[in-house]
Amino acid sequence: MCGIIGISQNKNAAKLAFIGLYALQHRGEEAAGIASYDGKEIYLKKKIGLVADAFDAKAIEELKGDTAIGHCRYSTTGSSNTKNIQPFLVTHRGVPMAIAHNGNLTNTEALYRKLEDGGAIFQTTMDSEIIIHLLARTKNGDLKKWFVNVLSQLEGSYSLIFLVGDTVVGARDPKGFRPLCLGRIDGKYVLASETCALDLIKAEFVREIDAGEIVLIKGDQIESVFLPGHGEGHKAQCVFENIYFARPDSDIFSDNVYEVRKRLGAALAKEHPVNADFVMAIPDSGNYAATGFAQQLGLPLEIGFIRNHYIGRTFIQPTQFLRDFRVRVKLNPISRVIKGKRIIVVEDSIVRGTTSKSRIEELRQAGAKEIHLRISCPPIISPCFYGIDFPSTQELVAAHRSIKDIAQFIQVDSLEYLSLEGMLSVMKNPKDFCHACFTGQYPVAVPQNKSKYLLEGKAA
């Protein structure tokens, strides 16, 4: 899961890309980068860390030109290190190209072997670099045919933004796993993962890029072409985007994330009501489902945890050590609100279980009389190979424990999850969502080598 943005023909392109990435920070906290083009060459700045740490005023000024693309990284293929920071930049036959990728290819190993056997020399261990090698080997004067040829070879999930000379190219895979939207500022087009980025740069939302669509943008000019298979069968939009990843003020998949999460909470309350003094959330991602849950049952909604806003999202940290550390310092319970009370705690999901267990321990220490945990999605039992970093069932607490066992592990008085049917019932066009992490039903073939580090040791 990553955040990507593209700005075409704007004198403040690099500044707008920076601001847009700031809005998309929740999609990736490991590293950030921006590439810009001034008509002669591409300039690149990238660094490990948050967007605000990766760029200062001097760096932005050095990103010359009126066209730029940006990326904030959450690693799903390849280690979290400097060489894997995007955008990834090359120059081929005098044409500079840069790529920003959100998603995860599932035929990475096969493409890598084919390219390496053909003489390709890899600089990174990202699946994204494969796309650049394919572009270099199939160069065509017609950009539309060129990109259709290359992207047709990819399997898995991808929302992509390229900088090819003065052209910004955007694309979504035929199943539409990851969001990508089109906006307009000062009459010129921009691309972003989510509409919250458009809001911050004061761009007008135009539409979503369709599943299987490739758009070629030069300022106020835009052309579209579609990949083979476009419009065939159902899409496979990631339902976890609506549950956890996307910002609640974004519109994705033709719906508003805040409203979806409230509907999830209301559906959860209908399925699993319980008598209690009040409802509270595990902030921030649980806030909106908790609101819907409380409104559905007519119970008070209280703030039981105060969040330290200088700590980022715990789930998307690349190692368990960092996740555990951030869990401890991220939230602090308000004992005077909690002591002696029967509380319903609403959380968006349970992945590994470590965060939930820690939170419940803190509520017990704060004096809660009863704790009833409600989860606004079904149990996560299967790995994701389409851009979320839980590639092994060993990491998923629900893959090898019953709900009763999980309740005992977390130490709650009761635990209930929203059913698959309940979750899908609140989505627009429910057949167009991927729910493989809840069911094991994968809409696109999964890789044989399932390791996040499958290219480690194979590349320079």
332-342: per-residue pLDDT in tens?
999 999 999 99
Can you give the pLDDT at residue 74?
81
Q: How far apart are CA 215 and CA 192, in angstroms?
A: 13
- Give the HSE-up count for residue 245: Cα atoms under 13 Å, Cβ half-sphere: 25
Tokens standing for 74? 């959450």
According to CATH, the topology of domain 3-236 is Glutamine Phosphoribosylpyrophosphate, subunit 1, domain 1 (3.60.20)
125-176: per-residue pLDDT in tens?
899 999 999 998 887 778 999 999 999 999 999 999 999 999 999 999 999 9
How is the chain split into domains, by residue range?
3-236, 257-433
Label residue 92 by pLDDT band (50, 70, 90). Answer: confident
Q: Looking at domain 257-433, which of 3.90.79.10, 3.40.50.2020, 3.30.420.40, 3.40.50.720 is its CATH number? A: 3.40.50.2020
Q: Would you name the residues annotated as active-site residues? A: 2
Write the CA distances from 246 to 6, 18, 119, 122, 431, integer angstroms.
18, 18, 39, 32, 20
379-393: per-residue pLDDT in tens?
999 999 998 877 688
Bridge partner list, 305: 333
Instruction: Please answer whether residues 88 and 38 qualify as being in contact, where contact means their C-beta atoms are separated by less than 8 angstroms.
Output: no
Can you give the pLDDT at residue 279?
98
Instruction: Please answer whether residues 182 and 215 qualify as being in contact, where contact means their C-beta atoms are separated by less than 8 angstroms.
Output: yes
Pick 144 or 328 by higher pLDDT.
144
pTM: predicted TM-score of the whole model, two decimal places: 0.92
Instruction: Please answer whether residues 168 and 161 qualify as being in contact, where contact means their C-beta atoms are separated by less than 8 angstroms.
Output: yes
Question: Which is it for the CA torsion 22, 28, 32, 38, positive or negative?
Answer: negative
